[in-house]
Amino acid sequence: SQQGEEDPQALSIQEGENATMNCSYKTSINNLQWYRQNSGRGLVHLILIRSNEREKHSGRLRVTLDTSKKSSSLLITASRAADTASYFCATDASGTYKYIFGTGTRLKVLA
Amino acid sequence: EAGVAQSPRYKIIEKRQSVAFWCNPISGHATLYWYQQILGQGPKLLIQFQNNGVVDDSQLPKDRFSAERLKGVDSTLKIQPAKLEDSAVYLCASSLQVRVEKLFFGSGTQLSVL
């Protein structure tokens, strides 16, 4: 079964705009990760946020985590055409280190 | 450093045939995962190895799927016999240890069952 659910399922924006995608999960976690997948390729790790953290930044990426609501958001600022990809959140139920992926958000950045 | 290697890149078979996928993780990575990704969905964990031992295979359909990781390095995932619903991309990932969370993925094997 899927642990995480991303929202929206698909997002289309203009280059230079910000993109926000959300992830909701069901059980308590050790950490939450975001991955990117370009068409026909494997997943690439973007950022990890631990259960005791509320916000994390990496370059143009900003991730927030609200454990009380069991949700996370990924913000990509000043988007580029190269950001076009599917984005997945992955969570592990506390103590398991078994990473379960969500359903993904398909982002399209128009030049 | 070399990434996670998978082969073949594509495979087309008829239902009821058997198929095998191979994965070579990043050197020194003790943990290896096999995921199944059906078109339009997120990856689903099939099996997780720590060295050559199975950590979790609760989502592996054991009546038709099998996996092994001899010598704790490369791994093979087999399907026998294949069904139409097995059409998917099979992704291999590795991490340094179970408690090192970042996963490194291969490019996957795209399986079409006709």
A48 contacts in chain B (CB < 8 Å): 101-102
- Res A5 pLDDT > 90: no
Q: What is the DSSP letter of A17?
A: S
Q: Which residue has the higher pLDDT, A98 or B15?
A: B15
Beta bridge partner(s), residue B53: B50
* CB contact at 8 A, A88 and B42: yes
Mean pLDDT of chain B: 93
Distance CA B113, CA A108 (A): 30
A100 contacts in chain B (CB < 8 Å): 45
Question: Chain B within 8 Å of A63 (Cβ-Cβ)?
Answer: no
For A34, name the nearest residue in chain B, comparing CA atoms only. B102
For A31, name the nearest residue in chain B, comparing CA atoms only. B101
Distance CA A15, CA A78 (A): 7
Chain A from 12 to 31: CB within 8 A of any B CB: 30-31
pLDDT mean over A19-30 = 92
Instruction: Return the number of CB contacts < 8 Å for A and B.
Output: 59
Distance CA A88, CA A98 (A): 15
Query: Which pLDDT score, from 0 to 100, does residue B98 have?
Result: 65
- Res B100 pLDDT > 50: yes
Percent of chain B scoring above 70 in pLDDT: 96
For the ranges A70-74, B1-5, B50-54, the lowest mean pLDDT is seen at: B1-5
The pLDDT confidence band at residue A40, using thresholds 50, 70 and 90, is: confident
Task: Collect all residues with Cβ–Cβ distance below 8 Å to A21 and sequence separation of at least 6.
Answer: A6, A7, A8, A11, A73, A74, A87, A105, A107
pLDDT mean over B19-27 = 97
- The beta-carbon neighbor of B107 closest among A4, A35, A41 is A41
Query: Which pLDDT score, from 0 to 100, does residue A1 have?
Result: 46
Q: What are the distances in angstroms from CA A98 to CA A61, B39, B56, B97? A: 24, 22, 8, 12
Query: Which pLDDT score, from 0 to 100, does residue B7 have?
Result: 97
Question: Chain B within 8 Å of A41 (Cβ-Cβ)?
Answer: yes
Query: Where does A28-68 show beta strands of DSSP type E?
Result: 29-37, 43-50, 55-58, 61-66
Which one-letter amino acid corresponds to residue B37? Q
pLDDT mean over B38-67 = 93
Query: Mind listing the pLDDT tens digit for each residue in B69-80?
Result: 988 899 999 999
Q: What are the distances in angstroms from CA A28 to CA A15, A32, A50, A69, A84? A: 36, 10, 11, 10, 30
Query: Mind listing the pLDDT tens digit for each residue in A52-86?
Result: 999 999 999 999 999 999 999 999 999 999 999 99
- The beta-carbon neighbor of A101 closest among B42, B102, B107 is B42
Distance CA A17, CA A79 (A): 6
Q: In terms of Cα–Cα distance, which of A23, A11, A33, A32 is closest to A79?
A: A11
- Res A106 pLDDT > 50: yes
CB contact (8 A) between residue B108 and residue A42? yes
* CB contact at 8 A, A63 and A74: yes
Determine the distance in angstroms separating the CA of B71 from the nearest CA of chain A, rounded to an integer.
22
